[in-house]
């Protein structure tokens, strides 16, 4: 679909005129077509007054439509046209929370809690450092901009709702509140704090923000009954 005002409205009007109900939909860009966008939607055609072939023909006749793909979601209602899934320009994989629990629980049986916590923390730290550096490189962000971007990204990716409190750039310290953290949700109930990957991610990310190496400690955790997860960031000793 051409990247022009009214393109989406014109396409939707064709469906509405045929009594086709749009249930869900999203529009986005793809790298292969820099001057166009993609509109993907689930539609209910049970009461349609026109055939799908006629609908496809009418859509393709619109000067704003470049291509039309119709695919019946059977046997299950999955959107399978757009592969691979992208997070920005990077390939992404969608995993349910339960899959993380099964993965980490299996590792913990082998490595024990102390071993797994060290592995997850180190992996999270490297990931956080990389993410912050990429945001700096792509969007030219620094300091407060990077902090705001982390909060945005956390919600956009389903990771958590992140709030920064008491950020001190001179001392390289911060208190970070993480609500609905996916890691705590995956581990369910534990007698101890469990968000080691998140803790590492925040340490790596904030090391880039402060331009100084820092560590992160989890002082509250949803998995052990707290209302939210809390992390204290301080300069690495």
pLDDT tens-place string over residues 100-124 = 889 888 988 898 888 999 999 999 9
CA angle 84, 133, 137 (to 5 degrees): 80
Alpha carbon distances (Å) from 43 to 11, 26, 68, 125: 13, 12, 14, 42
Of the CATH numbers 2.30.30, 3.30.70, 1.10.10, 3.90.550, which one belongs to the domain with range 7-91? Answer: 3.30.70
pLDDT of the residue at 225: 95
Phi, psi dihedral angles at 202 (to 5 degrees)? -65, -40
Average pLDDT over residues 34-52: 92
- The CATH T-level fold of domain 97-235 is Muramoyl-pentapeptide Carboxypeptidase; domain 2 (3.30.1380)
Does the pLDDT value for residue 83 go beyond 90?
A: no
Asked whether residue 4 carries a pLDDT value surpassing 90, the answer given is: yes
> Which region among 2-6, 30-34, 39-43, 138-142 has the lowest average model confidence (pLDDT)?
30-34
What's the pLDDT band for 33 if we cut at 50, 70, 90?
A: confident
Interior/surface letters 114-151, b for 16+ CB within 10 angstroms, e for the rest: eebbebbbeebbeebbebbeebbeeeebeeeebbebbe
Residue 209: predicted pLDDT? 96
Q: What are the tens digits of pLDDT across the range 174-231?
A: 999 999 999 999 988 889 999 999 999 999 999 999 999 999 999 999 999 999 999 9
Per-residue pLDDT of 128-163, as tens digits, reads 999 999 999 999 998 899 999 999 999 988 999 999
Sign (positive/negative) of CA torsion 50, 56, 61, 63? Answer: positive
Per the CB < 8 A criterion, the answer to whether 43 and 23 are in contact is yes
* Residues carrying CATH 3.30.70, the chain: 7-91
The β-bridge partners of 164 are 176
Alpha helices in 78-195 (DSSP H): 97-139, 144-156, 182-187
Question: Where in the chain do CATH 3.30.1380.20 domains reside?
Answer: 97-235
* Length of the chain measured in residues: 237
Q: Looking at residue 236, what is its pLDDT? A: 86
pLDDT at 53 over 80: yes
pTM above 0.75, yes or no: yes
pLDDT, residue 56, reads 95
């Amino acid at each position: 679909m051409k990247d022009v005002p009214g393109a989406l409205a014109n396409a939707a009007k064709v469906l509405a005129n045929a009594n086709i109900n749009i249930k869900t939909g999203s529009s986005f860009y793809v790298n292969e077509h820099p001057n166009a966008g993609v509109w993907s939607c689930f539609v209910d055609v049970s009461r349609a007054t026109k055939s799908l072939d006629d609908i496809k023909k009418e859509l393709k006749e619109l000067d704003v439509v470049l291509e039309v793909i119709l695919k019946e979601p059977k046997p299950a209602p999955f959107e399978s046209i757009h592969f691979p899934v992208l997070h920005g320009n990077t390939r992404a994989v969608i995993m349910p929370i339960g899959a993380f629990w099964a993965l980490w629980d299996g590792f913990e049986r082998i490595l024990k809690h102390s071993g797994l916590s060290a592995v997850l923390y180190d992996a999270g730290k490297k990931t956080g450092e990389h993410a912050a550096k990429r945001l700096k490189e792509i969007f030219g962000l620094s300091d407060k901009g990077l902090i705001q971007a982390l909060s945005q990204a956390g919600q956009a990716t389903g990771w958590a709702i992140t709030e920064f409190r008491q950020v001190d750039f001179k001392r390289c310290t911060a208190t970070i509140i993480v609500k609905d953290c996916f890691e705590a949700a995956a581990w369910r109930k534990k007698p101890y704090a469990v968000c080691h990957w998140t803790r590492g991610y925040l340490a790596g990310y904030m090391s880039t923000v402060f331009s100084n190496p820092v560590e992160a400690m989890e002082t509250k955790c949803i998995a052990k009954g707290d209302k939210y997860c809390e992390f204290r960031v301080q300069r690495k000793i």
